[in-house]
Structure 1
Amino acid sequence: MSPRAEGVRAGYAEMPTAIHTWVTDVLGSPVVSTQEMTGGMSPGCATRLRCADGRRVFVKAVGTPLNPVTPSMFRREIAALNLLGSHPLWAGLLASYDDGDWVGLLLEDVEGANPDLADDDTMGVLLDATEDLGALLRERVPSPDVEALGLLDFRDVVTNWAASFDEVSRLEEVPVPRWVRDDLDGWQARVAGLAAHDCPRLQHWDIREDNLVQRPDGSLVFVDWGQALVGPAWIDPLLARLERAEDPWFDTSLGSSPALVAAGDDTLNAWLVGFATMLAVRTVTAVDIGLPTLAAFRRSESARMFSAAARRLDLGPRAARA
């Protein structure tokens, strides 16, 4: 099964000499084989390396010539992983590189593949692992400093989502269903209200099948921390369930998370509509340099979130398909 988020990546051989030299210097042994990975939207490499001495590592690298924004995400991932240290729940950072244009990470190579989250047992493993991750993040980073670490702030994110409703009113081509257009001011206010939530916790904020590796023993590893965010405790439990947002299973599963129960249906519905609206707006306004599949991914994810929200609001099948 291919992940829904799958971009077009440059290979390790296409990385600049400076990246190759850095990798060899850090590892102390030349690279003798590579295995390019798929999944995710970075235009840079994501490559398993095997060295002459038998060592295996994972390298990811990107530069401003490929995309002007992605290097900042890699810097955020470096900050998050330096903060977290090592643990089996994520791939540990071995070394990092940053020359101002190109950014690279050498990570532990985790044996395994992306999980099949359509499988009930595997999804159960993910929900348990997400709870374990939340407890561990609270323990290791009890008071995350957004500005000092360069992390995303949930309050800024949802404030920007709320602003996207202005674009919906301005641009008829934004793929937003009629039931949202008929109440733009109301939905904008509900989404803006999410910024009032207490935001004390470090969150992964990008839990998807392509950002997970399942080991041969069935355990899961959370990778790609470039969206690391400080926000409410219910964020990662919600994201872990989004792979099945279009399924009524999603609604039932929310009750298994104390944080999601505490957040309440109004909060979760506003989040779904805010997320979906932001994605829909960006399908027609964003300029995605080096990311040819991102617009289609945004469109499909937006449609899934609107469908989930319509179902949860009991708006009927026509609204869910709009």
Structure 2
Amino acid sequence: MTPPPTGAPQRPFPPAVGDRRPWTDVPPALRAGLEQRLGATVTGAVTCSGGFSPGVAARLQLTDGRQVFVKAVGSEPNAHAPELHRREARVAAVLPSRIPSPRLLTVLDHHGWVVLAFAWVDGTMPTQPWRAPELNRVLSALGRLAAAPAPPAVAAVVPAATEFLADEFRGWRNLTQQRNAGLPLDGIDPWAAACLDALAEVEAGWADAVRGDVLAHCDLRADNILLTRAGVRLVDWARACLAAPWLDLLFLLAPAPLHGGLSPDAAFADHPAAAGADPADVTIALIALTGMLVDRSRRPPPPGIPTLRRFQAAQARAALAWLRNRRLPRHL
């Protein structure tokens, strides 16, 4: 089934925001422990917006004049969140200097709470929808990231994408199982519903399509990117994995709102990370990524992250718009 061309979705794109907790919610013993590690007392804390973590994200002012960024989370309300912070700490500790990321200062992990302190980065998140000048800055940074295999210290810490994404990159197959069980698929895009079996069949080949040895951030969105005077910084590395050099490019472009005439196809094709990429592999990965977003957007919101599903639904619409304009396998 060949769909007619379709443009970018016209509905407003929701911001990536979650429930934030104030710095004072961190247990006093951990706040004191962090001050001891940093060698200075906290004199002020400003909560930072952006991102979905159901915990603390704050800029701390210290008595010695320094500023640090701290993220902290406990087991309530989301029991999965502390492990994400632990994973991010393991990755951040081994990132080489060529990776444009904030420097990890210290980590505390006590009584169900995990606290990460980073060097403060004076930057701003990109404007949404994406505009060409800012997008080009980020695409340039991605080119440097994808230019070489991950160093051994990183490869020893992060999983392969074929392992890390195995539970996520089966969205269309999950939806076919729900349909076959007689469950309604309310809200599914009509074209996707009509092509569900074919999408699930193609999706099943995703692992071979994305296999590679390049470090991928695997969660690139505007709220995980800071634009500074000197360049670009990528933050929140909890989902890092080893993958094909173009996977991050796909994660950035496929579900993103683009301004005006910006085209994900053109931006992808012109990027050095996509040089040599098999178009069929890219399409398979795009199908898998889109299926993940459609599937996840229909689930109840995770505890403490009430806005995530609405955001994923908007991402799914954007990814579907690109998917329907690509050269798809003949049976689609």
Relative to the length of structure 2, the TM-score reads 0.84
Partner residue of 1:263? Answer: 277
Residue of structure 1 aligned with 2:31, choices 6, 17, 20:
20
SS of the equivalent of 1:71 reads: helix
Unaligned runs of 5+ residues in structure 2 are 1-12
Contact 2:150/2:242 (<8 A) preserved:
no
Output aligned runs, 1:1-322, within 5 Å: 4-86=15-97, 89-99=100-110, 101-116=112-127, 118-135=130-147, 138=149, 140-141=151-152, 144-145=155-156, 149=157, 151=159, 153-158=161-166, 160-162=168-170, 163-169=173-179, 170=181, 171-197=183-209, 198-217=211-230, 219-242=231-254, 243-244=256-257, 249-313=263-327
Instruction: Give, in whole Å, the separation in 2 of the partners of 1:248 and 1:116.
Output: 14
- Cα deviation, 1:39-89, whole Å, max 9, x if unaligned, reads 110011111111111111110001111311111111111111112144571
1:195 Cα deviation (Å)? Answer: 0.8
1:289 Cα deviation (Å)? Answer: 0.6
Partner residue of 1:319? Answer: none
SS of the equivalent of 1:164 reads: helix
Letter paired with 1:111: D
Taking a change above 3 Å as real, the CA distance of residues 88 and 153 of structure 1, as seen in their structure-2 partners, is closer
Relative to the length of structure 1, the TM-score reads 0.86
4-13 or 269-278, which deviates more: 269-278
Unaligned runs of 5+ residues in structure 1 are 315-322
Letter paired with 1:154: T
Contact 1:44/1:61 (<8 A) preserved:
yes
Contact 1:244/1:250 (<8 A) preserved:
no
Taking a change above 3 Å as real, the CA distance of residues 19 and 51 of structure 1, as seen in their structure-2 partners, is same
Amino-acid identity (%)? 26
1:292 Cα deviation (Å)? Answer: 1.0
Contact 1:130/1:240 (<8 A) preserved:
no
Contact 2:146/2:246 (<8 A) preserved:
no
- Cα deviation, 1:186-216, whole Å, max 9, x if unaligned, reads 2112111011133322211111111111113
Letter paired with 1:195: A
More helix by share: 1
106-115 or 191-200, which deviates more: 191-200
Structure with the bigger RCO (C-alpha within 8 Å, sep 6+) is 2
Taking a change above 3 Å as real, the CA distance of residues 139 and 296 of structure 1, as seen in their structure-2 partners, is closer
- Cα deviation, 1:131-179, whole Å, max 9, x if unaligned, reads 112236x26348713xxx3646335515642242334524323532222
